[in-house]
A and B are shown apart, each in its own frame.
Chain A
Amino acid sequence: MSSIQINNVTKRFGDFTAVEDLSLDIQEGEFVALLGPSGCGKTTTMNMIAGLEDISEGSILFDGQDLSSTRIQDRNIGFVFQNYAIFTHLSVYKNLSYGLEVKKIDKSAIDSRVRAMADRMSITHRLDQKASSLSVNEMQKLAIGRSAIVEPRIFLLDEPLSNLDASFRAYMRTELKVLQHELGQTMIYVTHDQIEAMSLADKIAIIDEGKLMQYGSPLDIYNSPNNRFVAHFIGSPRMNLIDGELRQEADQLKLIISGGAEIALQGQIKSDFTSDGRVHSGSFGIRPQDIYFGDKRSSSDIEMKGTVDVLERVGPKRIAHLQVSETSFIAFDDQDQLKLGDEVPFYLASDKSMAFDVASGRRLGVI
């Protein structure tokens, strides 16, 4: 087990900068997700940690130690790939014992460690069979098991669940989290799926276009995104981000949105938007669950009126798309009463709203 320090790392491929000035501190035993859209540089970052890719600038330290001159096979890093690399022609036992044999570990010690891992993975009854006879489910467990058995200093997983169907993916997610907890392993997990990252990781590093956007616990990031990209990327259904022009009329500050409708800013969100006087185009952020119907709950909440344009059944609830002029707000139909075409008043909870600068994307006001 190791801690990892990534210090101002940059990676260039010719003229293209894949990763730019990235710094991350990963504590021993932590589960960290590298999250971002495809092409954002997350896999390149992982490859640099693994030593598969050279670093153009900066350094990566393991327990304070630079391993860049150590051969890859001696770095003791465990890997699990999207297409689980297991030896299908060998037995399950052999797959598990292989990594230990390479390290020339004593035979009886190998046997007990193989059996313990097989038991942990509930594949003991399969030990003598060929790996090719396993179900997809069991192959995935074997792939993780054979990496975990050598007790690598860190464990790198590159979209390990993306080939699986939805229900099994949810199951493996739980398994993986329990396993990480039991092994106390430092794990780095690359994914583009924000739900996977949220549910698994102790900390998430969100990367876009090679740059670190935010690094923190899932709930810190969800509750307090520090820019518009993160706000848009994290959360399902997504946060409403309504762009508009700020306009001061008498003592009333308004956000004029597409189609000419107005959001009359009040309370905390009003002071957030005015915290930087140079900002003229603002983005109003509010999560669907912070929009409500019925009676106004706080005097600073903002009243709007919209037409129910689309209703979607999503899990236990219905999502309503409320059309306000040319802009659509997503809200939960929390009272199960909306009908298509209804024109309804609704409220934006002011203290749950967030302000962003459209030009730079940065969060405005107190975070």
Chain B
Amino acid sequence: MNSLELKNVFKTYPEFTLGPINLEIKQGEFFGIFGPPSTGKTSILKLILGLIHPDEGHVIINDQDAKDLGVSERGMSMVFQNLALFPHMSGRENIIFPLKERGATDREMEQQLNLVSDVLHISHILHKNPAQMSGGERQRIALGRAFAADSRAMLLDEPIAALDARLREEMRVELKRLQRENNQTFVYVSHDEEEVMAVSDRLAVVIGGKIAQVGVPDDVYSRPNSIAVAEVIGSPPMNLFQGEFSKKGNFFEAENFDARLALKGQSKHKGSATLGIRPEDIWLVEDGEETDFELSIISVEPLGGYTILNAYLGEKIVKIRAPGQVNVMAGSKQKVSFDPRRIHLFDDDGERL
């Protein structure tokens, strides 16, 4: 069953057009919306919530066209990026506010309050007013209020962006657990690629007001359907080389460096194209082995569990992510090969081949 559906939705702003947006979000799904800043992600949430209305197309909630449903009739909670807590109420009062409005019993309120304080680790700040809380604490209270309302679907706009890195890692796991236990539908907006990829069952990549790709994280990562998606998913981003296919289509010749790359099978596509390879799919090889290329290392970033190498390949800077801790010095030469199974090819329009 689809919990939410956007059908051919357009929304026009003076300097920006959102659409066409087509999305089907299933009941109980954790659905991520990812894109660079100002690409229309928050507008999609507002359309679902009913804060703004589409110029064209339909928003469908539980198989019912929502155009005549007011915000409060849609059964959604939203957590905004800029929180919107009641400043004169304590954390506790903020959280139970929606329950009180609905006329819930004291027992029910207590129960919900306990449940969310456990998950969000907020028992110790419930007595504070928002002004006495840190940014991260306010953010957790706002989340608590949305959870306690126990609505059909939760719309979350960068809900943990203000937390520090460790707490963010922890909270995203908690959010996912909570969502699964309650079998709620979550629509989760973030510009943090790692975060969206980690929490989502499926995600939509939004670029320039349009949906560039929808899929499960593994697929979006291993088969980006355009250069635009390949550039924003994955960190460090995919290395991209412009070049041409050889006449027979079994080699790729890049413009930046003097080497031919053998392709697995033959390309039917002729002429120019872009070849992409992720930093982890470039392998360091020992001297003497048969290799594709030699690089000159610019700098080495040891991160403990892996190492990022920045290097020149011809005149182009490439990034390599090597597993573990490697003994490579800045300024040295290093031989590498490209994993032939992990090569991405895109045509001149940037579409995947």
- List A contacts of B169 (CB < 8 A): 236-238
Interface of B is mostly: mixed
Q: Does A238 contact B166, Cβ atoms closer than 8 Å?
A: yes
Is A235 part of the contact surface with B, judged by Cβ < 8 Å? yes
Give Cα A223–Cα B304 distance, bound, in whole angstroms: 7
Is A216 part of the contact surface with B, judged by Cβ < 8 Å? no
Choose from A178, A195, A313 the contact partner of B303 (Cβ within 8 Å). A195
Give Cα A166–Cα B191 distance, bound, in whole angstroms: 9
Q: Does A166 contact B192, Cβ atoms closer than 8 Å?
A: yes
Choose from A170, A178, A232, A313 the contact partner of B197 (Cβ within 8 Å). A313
Is B321 part of the contact surface with A, judged by Cβ < 8 Å? yes
- List A contacts of B310 (CB < 8 A): 174
Choose from B165, B234, B301 the contact partner of A198 (Cβ within 8 Å). B301
Q: Does B164 contact A38, Cβ atoms closer than 8 Å?
A: yes
- List B contacts of A319 (CB < 8 A): 198
**B198 nearest in chain A by CB position:** A312
Q: Give per-residue flags for B47-59: 1 if the beta carbon is below 8 A from chain A beta carbons, else 0.
A: 0000000000000
Q: Does A315 contact B298, Cβ atoms closer than 8 Å?
A: no
Most A-side CB within 10 Å, residue of B37, B166, B280: B166
Q: Give per-residue flags for A147-178: 1 if the beta carbon is below 8 A from chain B beta carbons, else 0.
A: 00000000000000000011100100110011
Is B28 part of the contact surface with A, judged by Cβ < 8 Å? no
Give Cα A289–Cα B325 distance, bound, in whole angstroms: 12
Choose from A37, A174, A200, A236 the contact partner of B305 (Cβ within 8 Å). A236
Is B299 part of the contact surface with A, judged by Cβ < 8 Å? yes
Is B199 part of the contact surface with A, judged by Cβ < 8 Å? yes
Q: Does B304 contact A234, Cβ atoms closer than 8 Å?
A: yes
Q: Does A178 contact B298, Cβ atoms closer than 8 Å?
A: yes
Interface residue tally for chain B (C-beta within 8 Å):
40
**B303 nearest in chain A by CB position:** A198
B89 CB to nearest A CB, Å: 26
Given contacts A314-B198, A316-B280, whether A166 and B193 have CB atoms under 8 Å apart is yes
Number of contact residues on A: which range applies?
A: 35 or more
- List A contacts of B308 (CB < 8 A): 199
B58 CB to nearest A CB, Å: 31
Give Cα A166–Cα B199 distance, bound, in whole angstroms: 19
- List B contacts of A173 (CB < 8 A): 301
B259 CB to nearest A CB, Å: 24
**A336 nearest in chain B by CB position:** B218
Given contacts A192-B164, A310-B173, A321-B173, whether A315 and B235 have CB atoms under 8 Å apart is yes
Q: Does B278 contact A316, Cβ atoms closer than 8 Å?
A: yes
| 22 A–B contacts, CB within 8 A, in A order | A38-B164, A167-B235, A173-B301, A174-B298, A177-B299, A177-B301, A195-B303, A199-B301, A219-B304, A222-B303, A232-B166, A234-B304, A236-B305, A238-B166, A310-B173, A310-B176, A312-B173, A312-B197, A313-B217, A314-B197, A315-B235, A316-B278
Given contacts A313-B221, A316-B321, 19 further A-B contacts (CB under 8 A): A166-B235, A167-B235, A174-B301, A194-B165, A198-B304, A218-B303, A218-B304, A223-B325, A233-B166, A234-B304, A236-B303, A309-B177, A310-B173, A310-B176, A312-B172, A312-B173, A314-B198, A316-B278, A319-B198
* Interface residues of B, Cβ cutoff 8 Å to A: 36-37, 164-166, 169, 172-173, 176-177, 191-194, 197-199, 217-218, 221, 232, 234-237, 278, 280, 298-299, 301-305, 308, 310, 321, 324-325, 330
The list of the 3 closest CB pairs from A to B, nearest first, reads A199-B301, A222-B304, A312-B198
